[in-house]
Structure 1
Amino acid sequence: MTLAEPAFLFFLLLVPLLALGAWLADRQRRVAWQSLVAPRLRRKLAAPASPLGRWLSLGCGLIGLCLLVVTLAQPIAGEVETTSQVRGRNIIIAVDASRSMLVRDVAPDRLNAAKTAVYELLEHFPNDRIGLLAFAGSASLQAPLTIDHNALRETLDQLDETNVPSGGSNLADAINLATKTFKETGQRTHGLIVISDGELHEGELEDASFDARQEGVFIVTIGVGTLEGDFVPDPEETDGRFRDRSGRPVLSRLNPAPLRTLAGDTGGLYLEGVSGDFTKKIETVISRLDAFEDEGRVQKRPIPRFQWFLIPAMLFMIASLLLRFLWVPARPRAVTATPTTTLLVLIALFGASPESSAWNNPLEGFFGSRALKKGDTAKALEHFEKAAEDASPEELARIRYGQGAASYRAGNYEKAADAFADALLSKESSLQRDAYSQLANTLYHRAMSPDSSDGIPLEERIDLMEDALEHYDSALEIDSKHKASTQNRKATEQALEQLKQVQQQQQEQQEQEQQESGEEGEEEEGEPQESDQQGENGENQEGEQGEEEDGEEGEQDGEGQEGEEGEQDENGNGQEEGEEDGQDGEQQSGQEGQEEGQQNQAQQSQQGPAPREDETAEEFARRILEENADFQKDALRKRGRQAAPTKDW
């Protein structure tokens, strides 16, 4: 048996002091009585009382006090193993361990820089199943997919260029081995992170990337090294440089081409270097993977044994009170031990209860909820973190929901999404419904927040919106009458449609700019015929004016179309009389270009707002997003321009 809080045992030093104080108080009382009353009158004034009952009461009280002190020290004996359920994804990290990774063009060298990046990835993805793979001339699985990241760190510490005996850099073999490992898990999507210099790769890389794409593997490639490169070191040579068969020093440079191609073929991402917030960029790809429930870490929780001491302490306290009032004859005197004993009983009830112990503390969750209601998100997160220590799976789901709500209010949507995802493990259907709904709200805010217009590409924001719709559907599957999820889903559909319109306008504007650049090149080649073209354009304009005038006369005489068809005639889209009057103008060489310009203008007016002058496609898309973005950091509300999800927690 051990004690969780042994410092409370210092209170046992008060027990002998209390016993000494009780003896001195009794002696002083007897001395005062003897000095006041003559011996011959003592029997007549007060009946003789036996001190046995008083000392038994004091002894029971002191024993109960000692047991209460031991209870406050939180005795524990034995352990119970608990396995928590976590939601994770399958990720394999492939590290190039060839000789070229020893080049020191990055500090301290390429291999150690790659290992540092792996350490950061393990910290960034704590709940995911991660495996470690090393490759050179062949590939070798150093650690299988596991949730035990401490074991991965130990394996990574021992990784060097000698782990793979064969020389070279067979990147295709590494991809094939990772794909085979992923296939054995039975999941639909997987993530492969390759850290290499991309030099001297061997094998059929195209076939390997095709197989990986068919298996649902998203590959993120990270290039380490510089384009200038450096000589491959060799401590056995006199000049410290590795030489090829012809005796020339080998110069190694970063080759990003195969890495960039591999990432593009599998829908992944290529990063050059491991500096900055590269983990957040990788998160944009890993977030597309399907998360699944898996058994997490096995934890050993100590078994509290405070009941062994609390129950006897209560019995001794009750016995002390009974002896104090029943054994001793009633007479007018102060009972000094009763208030102290009562106070100690209250301390035992509230201080030694399992709810307030170090291994299970719901008060922290209460304080976190109260801080969240007051708007103090930082303090709320602090209380929730303390409450999450060694909590049961169901309690942990509720605590993670509170952490998600606090992070949501603080504007940290990435942590909020992770917390709401963990709350889905709850067995309570109402909490699952709210977690799905709030997770969808969080993804909506990540896509529509002003910060995302500069950091997250438009395509990824559309993916976030689509994921939000799926989570709303999951919430409605649990409770089809959930009003907040229904309204928020409609608002998200409208926002997604606007993003897709912006994407379409951006693509059309790029195509128009390319077409205009081609037309400018044709105009420069035909400058000597400028006067002839101006004459032809003048005739074309006269023909168009004739078409418009005839169209207007047709409207006044009742021969033309009415309403919207009349507006289309003014734009030159299908008015038969104008085409007959301007038939001579259509035969001119410049008429086709003007008709295409009018059609493009009509299409742009029907599709939505057009870009401003001297405004690029990226600036136009950013302006549309800012005009339609929800700048609020708290709950989603309906707005005048666009309906946004509302708060339901």
Structure 2
Amino acid sequence: MGPDIQFANPEFFWLLLLLPVALLWYFFRRKQQLPTLRISSLRAFSTPSLVSRLRPLPFILRLLALAAVITALARPQTENISTRTKTTKGIDIVMAIDVSSSMLARDLRPNRLSALKEVAAEFVRQRPSDRIGLVVYAGESYTKTPITSDKRIVLSALEDITYGQLSDGTAIGMGLATSVNRLKDSKAISKVIILLTDGVNNAGFIEPQTAADMALEYNIKTYTIGLGTNGNALSPIGYNADGTFRYGMREVEIDEALLKDIATATGGEYFRATDNETLETIYDEINKLEKTEIEEFKYYRYEERFRPWVLLAGGLLLLEWVLRITVFRSFI
């Protein structure tokens, strides 16, 4: 019996207890029906034939047929389950990511940008029912990926983010405003921006407070994350002759007051990530705060499997009848 078979009426299997009782009754009755002949020697008699030895076969076939009928009564069946999910509360999310040169600081492993990409990718994988978009900003900002439900596109674009795609600087207001522009026409019930930066607003032509007011006007909640250890961090401080960065210790400066104001004004929260573990915990916390309600429908389809057992029982009874009127006719 395959592991996918189940029985609708397993209580009928209790009837199988009758089989050993019937078997004992048959052999007890058979001994009583056989006459007893006392003789001094068996030499005059030939060895019992194969047919006489197989005399119980018809009765055994009848018991097997009865077992097959009981199995059919238990209604073996297979169950196929199809699932359909319906998102009852969709969330559109835009992740605004700072890609300024300070994101190459090595206070997170291997650096801030690489650590962020790894954690953000896991966050995307955990939101299968939501649409997600990416905005990157440094001295200016642009949309890396419009909001989409295709997570492969988002993950590929996230992996493709590197330093040097924009002029250096930290235009927090521009990054937030571009994110708002991506979400303002969204029909989703909940709209969320996750804005991450490791510095102070020092570029762009849109003030962060103005962008926060825009987010509030379109009912877009903003979570802000300040990224960087407390104190000093090994950061790019110049260029070597071959064009690579020269690293040195530099004080970590984050405008936490601004980030808190943006989060408070829009109904979000501010978080501070000082290491890889804290950053991962923050994204887990946001994942819990922004829950998507999903309604799941399961459809069950049962396929009855009793017919082969009925046919088997019929075949065994037919074989038993044929044997009784042919091979074992002289014993009946």
- Partners of 2:6 and 2:308 lie apart in 1 by 21
| Cα separation, partners in 2 of 1:157 and 1:33, compared to 1, 3 Å | farther
Aligned match of 1:224 in 218, 221, 227? 227
| Cα separation, partners in 2 of 1:263 and 1:96, compared to 1, 3 Å | same
| Cα separation, partners in 2 of 1:120 and 1:52, compared to 1, 3 Å | closer
Q: Give runs of aligned pairs for residues 2-17 of structure 1, distance below 5 A.
A: 4-5=3-4
Aligned Cα RMSD in Å?
5.3
Q: Does 1:144 align with 2:147?
A: yes
- Note the C-alpha offset of 1:196: 1.7
Q: Which amino acid in structure 2 is aligned with residue 231 of structure 1?
A: S
Percentage identity across paired residues of the two chains = 20
| Cα separation, partners in 2 of 1:197 and 1:32, compared to 1, 3 Å | same
Q: Which residue of 1 aligns with 2:194?
A: 193
Aligned match of 1:61 in 56, 63, 66? 66
- Note the C-alpha offset of 1:192: 1.1
Q: Does 1:310 align with 2:280?
A: no
- Note the C-alpha offset of 1:303: 4.6
- Note the C-alpha offset of 1:55: 5.5
- Do 1:194 and 1:220's aligned partners in 2 also have CA atoms closer than 8 Å? yes
Deviations 1:161-199 (CA, angstroms, capped at 9, x unpaired): 16x822434433432332222222235752211122134
- Partners of 1:158 and 1:180 lie apart in 2 by 23
Deviations 1:461-509 (CA, angstroms, capped at 9, x unpaired): xxxxxxxxxxxxxxxxxxxxxxxxxxxxxxxxxxxxxxxxxxxxxxxxx
Q: Give runs of aligned pairs for residues 338-353 of structure 1, distance below 5 A.
A: none
| Cα separation, partners in 2 of 1:61 and 1:221, compared to 1, 3 Å | same
Partner SS state of residue 259, structure 2: helix
Partner SS state of residue 216, structure 2: helix
- Partners of 2:308 and 2:114 lie apart in 1 by 61
- Partners of 1:68 and 1:118 lie apart in 2 by 56
- Do 2:220 and 2:266's aligned partners in 1 also have CA atoms closer than 8 Å? yes
Q: Give runs of aligned pairs for residues 486-525 of structure 1, distance below 5 A.
A: none
| Cα separation, partners in 2 of 1:165 and 1:119, compared to 1, 3 Å | closer
Q: Which amino acid in structure 1 is aligned with residue 110 of structure 2?
A: P
Q: Does 1:104 align with 2:106?
A: yes
Q: TM-score, normalised by structure 2?
A: 0.59
| Cα separation, partners in 2 of 1:97 and 1:52, compared to 1, 3 Å | same
Partner SS state of residue 165, structure 2: coil
Q: Could you list the runs of 5+ residues in structure 2 that have no partner in the other structure?
A: 8-19, 39-54, 325-332
Q: Give runs of aligned pairs for residues 280-429 of structure 1, distance below 5 A.
A: 282=286, 303-305=301-303, 307=304, 309-310=305-306, 313=309
- Partners of 2:82 and 2:267 lie apart in 1 by 45
Q: Which residue of 2 aligns with 1:202?
A: 203
Q: Does 1:133 align with 2:138?
A: no
- Partners of 1:233 and 1:300 lie apart in 2 by 58
- Do 1:86 and 1:296's aligned partners in 2 also have CA atoms closer than 8 Å? yes
| Cα separation, partners in 2 of 1:220 and 1:82, compared to 1, 3 Å | closer
- Do 1:219 and 1:269's aligned partners in 2 also have CA atoms closer than 8 Å? yes
- Partners of 1:184 and 1:100 lie apart in 2 by 33
Q: Which residue of 2 aligns with 1:32?
A: 31
- Note the C-alpha offset of 1:239: 9.6
Partner SS state of residue 184, structure 1: coil
| Cα separation, partners in 2 of 1:112 and 1:132, compared to 1, 3 Å | farther
Q: Which amino acid in structure 2 is aligned with residue 61 of structure 1?
A: L
- Do 1:196 and 1:223's aligned partners in 2 also have CA atoms closer than 8 Å? yes
- Partners of 1:250 and 1:63 lie apart in 2 by 82
Q: Which amino acid in structure 1 is aligned with residue 165 of structure 2?
A: P
- Do 1:268 and 1:285's aligned partners in 2 also have CA atoms closer than 8 Å? no
- Do 2:69 and 2:313's aligned partners in 1 also have CA atoms closer than 8 Å? yes
- Partners of 1:156 and 1:300 lie apart in 2 by 35
Q: Give runs of aligned pairs for residues 53-92 of structure 1, distance below 5 A.
A: 54=59, 57-64=62-69, 71=76, 74=78, 76=80, 80=82, 82-92=84-94
- Partners of 1:64 and 1:252 lie apart in 2 by 83
Q: Which residue of 1 aligns with 2:255?
A: 256
- Note the C-alpha offset of 1:286: 5.3
Q: Which residue of 2 aligns with 1:177?
A: 178
| Cα separation, partners in 2 of 1:159 and 1:223, compared to 1, 3 Å | farther
- Partners of 1:84 and 1:251 lie apart in 2 by 50
If asked which structure has higher relative contact order (CA below 8 Å, sep 6+), I would say 2
Q: Which residue of 2 aligns with 1:94?
A: 96
| Cα separation, partners in 2 of 1:109 and 1:268, compared to 1, 3 Å | same
Partner SS state of residue 106, structure 2: coil
- Partners of 1:238 and 1:71 lie apart in 2 by 78
- Note the C-alpha offset of 1:104: 0.7
- Do 1:135 and 1:170's aligned partners in 2 also have CA atoms closer than 8 Å? no
- Partners of 2:270 and 2:128 lie apart in 1 by 24
Q: Which amino acid in structure 1 is aligned with residue 224 of structure 2?
A: T
| Cα separation, partners in 2 of 1:7 and 1:156, compared to 1, 3 Å | farther
| Cα separation, partners in 2 of 1:198 and 1:261, compared to 1, 3 Å | farther
- Do 2:93 and 2:147's aligned partners in 1 also have CA atoms closer than 8 Å? no
Q: Which amino acid in structure 1 is aligned with residue 213 of structure 2?
A: F
Aligned residues: 280
Deviates more, 1:194-203 or 1:219-228: 194-203
More strand per residue: 1 or 2? Answer: 2
Deviations 1:507-550 (CA, angstroms, capped at 9, x unpaired): xxxxxxxxxxxxxxxxxxxxxxxxxxxxxxxxxxxxxxxxxxxx
- Do 2:123 and 2:287's aligned partners in 1 also have CA atoms closer than 8 Å? no
Q: Which amino acid in structure 1 is aligned with residue 255 of structure 2?
A: P
- Note the C-alpha offset of 1:130: 4.6
Q: Which amino acid in structure 2 is aligned with residue 268 of structure 1?
A: G
- Note the C-alpha offset of 1:224: 0.7
Partner SS state of residue 222, structure 2: strand
Q: Which residue of 2 aligns with 1:411?
A: none
